[in-house]
Structure 1
Amino acid sequence: MVFEIPAFLLPSPARILRDSVAEADTLGWHTLATLKTVFLGFLASVVISLPLAVLITSSKRMANTIYPILVLTQSIPKVALAPILVILLGTNELPRIVVTFLVAFFPLVIAVATGLSSVPDDLVELGRSYRGSRWQMLTRIRLPYAVPMIFSGLKVAVTLSVVGAVVAEFVNADAGLGYFIISSTAFFETGLAYAALIILSLMGIVLFQIVVVAERVLFPWSPANTDPVSR
């Protein structure tokens, strides 16, 4: 207001709120579309990352085989890959889910693998002295010890899932907040674009806190629950 900046360049908070209320139904619909993509991409990253991390930590040969492939998948820019995925998979939601998965799963794999590999040797030797099988060692020693690292990876992955979903929606979508931002700025509806940006920020914060609460409820003994940063 002081510098008389045009609303189409930088709308005031009151303008953003007014535009949000006027288009509340549309914003809600696009928010649900983005949430669906985020949830499916994040779920895919969890389902694939956990067993992949177990394979990586099972032997040095497996680690040397899988790690280069993981690095290769991360060296490809997702914005450049998204149009190719549209050609391969079609103009549906699947390419968006795949892009979201590719953005989110790498830090989760690394976090889980690091947690599984950081078990103290004396705990491993204790399990062996009781003739624990490989499965028992994994479920009773390695996984419980890796819980803080696993949830650290989940917190990063769930926030990156929001980023991945929006990147995918920029390339191929007919719904979602990323698509809504593109269409709003094309018609100089900057207030709506800022509203979508704020919703995306709040979405990332809420999803992050959901993972924090899940860790507290499911694993109250986790050392991370005493960390003030996680509170």
Structure 2
Amino acid sequence: MIKLLKKGWRPATVLILLLVIWELCSRLFNVPNWLLPAPTIIGEEAINGWAQYQHHLFSTIQLTLGGFIIGTSFGLTVAVCLHVLPSLRESLYPLIILSQNIPIIVLAPLLVIWFGFGWLPKVIVIVLVCFFPIAVATMDGLRQTNQELMHYMKMAGATKGQIFRKLEWPHALPSIFSGLKISATYSVMGAVISEWLGANQGIGVYMTLASSSFRTDRVFVAIFLIMILSLLFFALISQIEKRATNWQKKGDNN
């Protein structure tokens, strides 16, 4: 906690300063609330309107977690398969890159046409945005395994499975967690985008309803909720990374 406070006081100070400037400008220039509400008005709406958006928030969290787990699991599986089978990697890797050149906003309506307005098209959107970062990061991490240790294990008679479990996978963990952190932040935005497809609840729905009724304060509440969810998700993955890669730090100290 002490380390977190030492590292976080600077960005916290800048954030507070920006909010103060925003508040002062809104009041000094009499900016209409429908155009740009002051932070205090947004805060009041966030507190007083909890009952109106809490079910939207919980729905987005569930959708985010489900899509993130499926997307990252699929990305890890594909990355490992492509690493183990180099010929397959040469054939499919360009297709993986091309899949990211399709705008999600354009693809989303097609998913609704193909799969309806249920849970499936929304999960597919999140999977698509989570898949690429974790797949590429995992493949890069596996390729960057120490070749001297690799040669030593082969000389010792280790099988490919043993080399993968005891050398390649552990040393790829930092890269894997980098991909997980990127996917974690993307998954929240992917969930919001997927909710614009025609969901009946979620932060994306709450934002759409607020925008259509010119409740700009609620739009900012939705924006801040998305930011907080992304930061919390990122922090959770970072804490898991510290525990999972603690062995590397101990090895470096020794």
Give the TM-score of the pair, scaled to structure 1: 0.93
Partner of 2:47: 21
**CA shift for structure 1 position 47:** 1.1
For the 8 Å contact 2:78–2:135, the answer to whether it is kept is yes
Tell me what 1:202 maps to: 228
Q: Which residue does the alignment assign to 1:76?
A: 102
Q: Distance in 1 between matches of 2:176 and 2:198?
A: 31
SS for the counterpart of 1:122 is helix
Give, in whole Å, the separation in 2 of the partners of 1:14 and 1:153: 36
- Give the Å deviation of 1:59: 3.6
Residue in 2 aligned with 1:37?
63
The answer (yes or no) to whether the contact 1:181–1:196 under 8 Å persists in 2 is: yes
What is the letter of the counterpart of residue 221 of structure 1? W
3-state SS of 1:221 partner: helix
Q: How does 1:156-175 map to 2 (within 5 A)?
A: 156-175=182-201
Q: Write the deviation string for residues 130-154 of structure 1: whole angstroms up to 9, x where unpaired.
A: 2211111111000001011011111
SS of corresponding position for 1:171: coil
Whether 1:149 and 2:149 are equivalent positions in the alignment is: no
User: Are 2:116 and 1:90 aligned?
Assistant: yes
Match of 1:109 in 2: 135
Aligned position for 2:13? none
Shift of 1:26: 2.1
Q: Please say if residues 174 and 245 of structure 2, whose CA atoms lie closer than 8 Å, have aligned partners that are also in contact.
A: no
- Whether the aligned pair in 2 keeps the contact of 1:33 and 1:175 (CA below 8 Å) is yes
Question: Over aligned residue pairs, what C-alpha RMSD do you find?
Answer: 1.3
Shift of 1:103: 0.7
Residues 79, 171 of structure 1: 8 Å contact kept? no
Partner of 2:157: 131
Match of 2:145 in 1: 119
1:12 to 25, 29, 38: 38
Task: Tell which structure's C-alpha radius of gyration is larger.
Answer: 2
**How many residues get paired?**
224
Unaligned runs of 5+ in 2: 1-26
2: distance between equivalents of 1:93 and 1:17?
A: 32
Distance 1:141 1:172 in 2: 46
Q: Contact 2:72–2:127 (CA<8 Å) still a contact in 1?
A: no
Structure 2: distance between partners of 1:182 and 1:222: 46
> How far apart, CA to CA, are the structure 2 residues paired with 1:77 and 1:53?
23
Runs of 4+ in 1 over 6 A off after TM superposition: none
Deviation at 1:87, TM superposition (A): 1.2
Match of 1:99 among 125, 130, 144: 125
Give the secondary structure class of the aligned counterpart of 2:196: helix
Where does structure 1 lack aligned partners over 5 or more consecutive residues?
227-231
